[in-house]
Structure 1
């Protein structure tokens, strides 16, 4: 696996040993590929899944009269999860910097959005900045953790990737619009069109086990946005935060939020490319045993 951690290399070696004699065709081979796909996705989500599990557990079992406020408990739990990730070397040093950047950019947006009433947190606890409990930044960090981990776990490669300087401009515009649309014209649809134009021709290649799959990059963005939207519904149900229209009782988050999460994916992807520049899929067609490359014949990718 590209730039994998020591633990991931050990897991990969065990998987190779167990699956070395697995059939390359038929139902069993398909089931192996599917199982590896699910396990890699689960491993990529480990930080976010752990944090979401703590949020749900706090909703179900954390006592209302506890000395430690629930929001403070969630913040401490998020810090512990992050420390474990680092101590167990489940994240590389370069990834930590991008995750910190996710944390900071997310916290700044949280401060603004809660101030203008876009959503709200329970007003308990002392580990907070204004109306924003500190665990909220870790939710953005969880997205960052997933994005950087999925890149190397699936050895992602791209064809027709747009120029990175153009993606930075669009991502910056998206981030600014999250603030300015409260006071000026909402440009989200213009930005959505810009995203479509930039990434329309881009194809993403991902190695599972023996199989390399490919899909339109825009479809991958939409899939991740849907996944986060589902996680957001769990988070609001668990009372981690709420939207104004949920004040009288929980109900599913408005589908319009999918557009916001889709645009957030662009910011996430651009930040990840600062750590892992997009590369062509020419080295992805390797068999898992040999590591030899079977060229795809396509070498075009975005360069800054």
Structure 2
């Protein structure tokens, strides 16, 4: 944990020292702690969504600084605060930089082929891609690495990392190649299911250690990314072609893309935080 999180952890443990060890109240405490940890893990992404919404609602159209450039500066400021205030570890920063690179390359390609677009002007961009976009994808990486340590994650029957890396590379390539050749996303979904079908994630909330099939966690995170995507498009941060004239909810079919993008994210994090068996943490 970071120094700030360690202090929060000690404070929370002292506050909950008299919490019951069993019964309905114990389950309620466990649930509330789970929610608090999830909220803390989402702090980077929540801050990014907040500035997107604020910029949409209140940023003046005639401001000297373009809205997209203001979003870039705000995103950089959030990142600086996270590091200076010791809300983020060095490993997390490394993962975020990796996510920036992976995302920016894909964003440049996707905007060029018309998959989506970023309205507005500005100078802080590469091609048609404002530089704040890297922070949006990095928010996913930030969440994953924070969850890893906040919940003390361990894994039973985690697949070989080399195998997951091969699938992740194929997923990434398919995001580009399906515009020109056969789209193999469903084969990739099947490969992911085959790889992770037997993997069980163990996570500690407060007193108890809980278990969950990792595929369930993947689908859950993909769903919440889809929700965040709807907030992002509603704020006008980016738009799909069908939303330019009339915004509507992003189709649920996008969950497949987010599920596969999640795999790239998980594999990248797994190379920074090596997955370990529960017995390795005893």
* Residue 118 (structure 2) aligned to one of 117, 121, 126: 121
- Contact 1:123-1:131 at 8 Å conserved across structures: no
* Residue 40 (structure 1) aligned to one of 37, 40, 44: 37
Deviations 1:274-300 (A, max 9, x none): 11100112266xxxxxxxx5xxxxxxx
Tell me the equivalent position of 1:232. Answer: 229
Alignment of 1:143-292 (within 5 A): 143-282=140-279
**Higher relative helix content:** 2
**TM-score, with structure 2 as normaliser:** 0.98
What is the distance in 2 between the residues matched to 1:31 and 1:60?
37
- Contact 1:157-1:205 at 8 Å conserved across structures: yes
- Contact 1:156-1:207 at 8 Å conserved across structures: yes
What is the distance in 2 between the residues matched to 1:143 and 1:283?
27
Alignment of 1:63-78 (within 5 A): 63-78=60-75
Does 1:136 find its partner at 2:133? yes
**TM-score, with structure 1 as normaliser:** 0.91
SS of the equivalent of 2:250 reads coil
SS of the equivalent of 2:272 reads coil
Tell me the equivalent position of 1:103. Answer: 100
SS of the equivalent of 1:240 reads coil
- Contact 1:204-1:215 at 8 Å conserved across structures: yes
1:117 to partner: Cα distance:
0.2
- Contact 1:121-1:131 at 8 Å conserved across structures: yes
Tell me the equivalent position of 1:60. Answer: 57
SS of the equivalent of 1:161 reads coil
Deviations 1:243-279 (A, max 9, x none): 0011221100011110000001100000001111001
Consecutive unaligned residues in structure 1, runs of 5 or more: 285-292, 294-304
SS of the equivalent of 1:274 reads helix
RMSD of Structure 2 on Structure 1 (CA): 0.9
What is the distance in 2 between the residues matched to 1:81 and 1:100?
14
What is the distance in 1 between the residues matched to 2:24 and 2:81?
38
Does 1:83 find its partner at 2:80? yes
Alignment of 1:21-40 (within 5 A): 21-40=18-37
Tell me the equivalent position of 1:302. Answer: none
Consecutive unaligned residues in structure 2, runs of 5 or more: none
Runs of 4+ with deviation above 6 angstroms: none
Give the total of aligned pairs.
282
Tell me the equivalent position of 2:16. Answer: 19
Tell me the equivalent position of 1:290. Answer: none
- Contact 2:225-2:258 at 8 Å conserved across structures: yes
